[in-house]
């Protein structure tokens, strides 16, 4: 696929999506939004992809929104006709007000493949909120994080008011968003946002090792279903809701070829070769939720 502001590489079942505006610290634009969404459409449709790593080119992960429009950066209606952001606005009046970061995070949330963030440098504003629907975040020791919205007169975007408290707790989420300060990766680790810190040269190898552990040992259908199950149950009001769904999933998957292969390979003490594919073999109950429109 041809992209201008990202790069997508697939090697041995692991896709690496690289935000690719290194001269701008990979600052986020409308074009980047569309390209990231298209990349996840591609990885979901490709059964050979078992996991997705997201990282940044150069010394930054993503420095937040591109501020080259100055004080009009977040006033899309004021942009010129030739402006990239202006051209990205839909005709529908309701759709025009939708936050681009939110479009991105909601698409990542819908991914059928596990997503690993390899935060290689500054991740500020949308540069960090875009990682919140990713499943596991690793960071370089040189990375810096900032939920800087209150220092720009904005509120946290990209649906981060839903994601962030669920990841780190309400008190930590409020401290980071109230102050808007940029803090070191160690604080992000201590606060539960980051899984592990790595020297810069070790970051991508560590992310790839984790992706390989998933790709080489697990059922793609099982992982895709598990991803949806755990994320969707964050909004359940009672464990019975999880019991209703996981009972049906166990019943349906229990009759499938992947379970037979998983048990056989264990008993025969060999590596599994799971035949089922997310594109064609998801359990009948999937999806068990209704899509929510932007209203």
Determine, yes or no, domain membership for 197: yes
Same domain, 197 and 272: no
Closest of 102, 110, 179 to residue 145, by C-alpha:
179
Q: Please give the residue range of the domain that contains residue 149.
A: 6-214
Same domain, 11 and 33: yes
Same domain, 41 and 67: yes
Instruction: Please give the chain's pLDDT, 295 residues, in tens.
Output: 689 999 999 999 999 999 999 999 999 999 999 999 999 999 999 999 999 999 999 999 999 999 876 655 555 555 444 455 555 556 677 788 899 999 999 999 999 999 999 999 999 999 999 999 999 999 999 999 999 999 999 999 999 999 999 999 999 999 999 999 999 999 999 999 999 999 999 999 999 999 999 999 999 999 999 999 999 999 999 999 999 999 999 999 999 999 999 999 999 999 999 999 999 999 999 999 999 999 9
Residue 105 region, left (φ>0) first, then alpha (ψ -120 to 50), else beta?
Answer: alpha
Same domain, 74 and 163: yes
How far is Cα 184 from Cα 203, in angstroms, rounded to an integer? 16
Residue 50 — φ and ψ, nearest 5°?
A: -105, -20
Q: Which of 214, 242, 267 is where one domain is finished?
A: 214
Determine, yes or no, domain membership for 78: yes
Determine, yes or no, domain membership for 1: no
Report pTM: 0.92
Same domain, 206 and 240: no
Q: Which of 189, 214, 239 is where one domain is finished?
A: 214
Determine, yes or no, domain membership for 161: yes
Same domain, 53 and 82: yes
User: Which pLDDT belongs to residue 76?
Assistant: 53
Same domain, 173 and 283: no
Determine, yes or no, domain membership for 127: yes
- Within 10 angstroms of residue 205's Cβ, the number of other Cβ atoms is 11
Q: Quickly list H helices, 2-120.
A: 30-45, 84-88, 93-96, 100-109
CATH code for the domain of 105: 3.90.226.10
How far is Cα 111 from Cα 49, in angstroms, rounded to an integer? 12
Q: In the chain, how many domains are there? A: 2
């Amino acid at each position: 696929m041809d992209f201008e502001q990202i790069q997508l590489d697939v090697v041995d079942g692991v896709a690496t999506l690289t935000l690719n505006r290194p001269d701008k610290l990979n600052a986020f634009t409308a074009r980047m939004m569309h390209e990231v969404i298209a990349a996840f459409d591609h990885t979901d449709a490709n059964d050979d992809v078992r996991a997705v790593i997201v990282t940044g080119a150069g010394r930054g992960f993503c420095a937040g929104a591109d501020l080259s429009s100055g004080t009009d950066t977040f006033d899309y209606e004021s942009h010129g006709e030739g402006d990239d952001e202006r051209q990205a606005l839909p005709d529908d009046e309701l759709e025009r007000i939708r936050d681009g970061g939110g479009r991105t995070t909601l698409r990542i949330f819908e991914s059928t493949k596990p997503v690993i963030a390899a935060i290689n440098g500054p991740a500020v504003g949308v540069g960090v909120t875009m990682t919140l629907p990713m499943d596991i975040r690793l960071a370089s020791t040189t990375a810096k994080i900032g939920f800087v919205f209150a220092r720009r007169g904005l509120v946290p975007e990209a649906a981060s008011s839903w994601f962030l408290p669920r990841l780190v707790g309400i008190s930590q989420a409020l401290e980071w968003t109230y102050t808007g300060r940029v803090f070191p990766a160690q604080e992000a680790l201590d606060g539960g946002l980051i899984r592990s810190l790595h020297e810069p040269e070790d970051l991508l190898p560590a992310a790839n090792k984790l992706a390989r552990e998933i790709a080489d040992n697990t059922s793609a259908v099982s992982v895709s279903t598990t991803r949806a199950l755990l994320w969707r149950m964050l909004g359940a009001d009672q464990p019975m809701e999880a019991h209703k769904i996981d009972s049906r999933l166990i019943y349906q998957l229990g009759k499938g070829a992947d379970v037979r292969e998983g048990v056989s390979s264990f008993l025969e003490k060999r590596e599994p070769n799971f035949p089922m594919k997310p594109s064609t073999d998801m359990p009948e109950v999937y999806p068990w939720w209704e899509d929510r429109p932007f209203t």
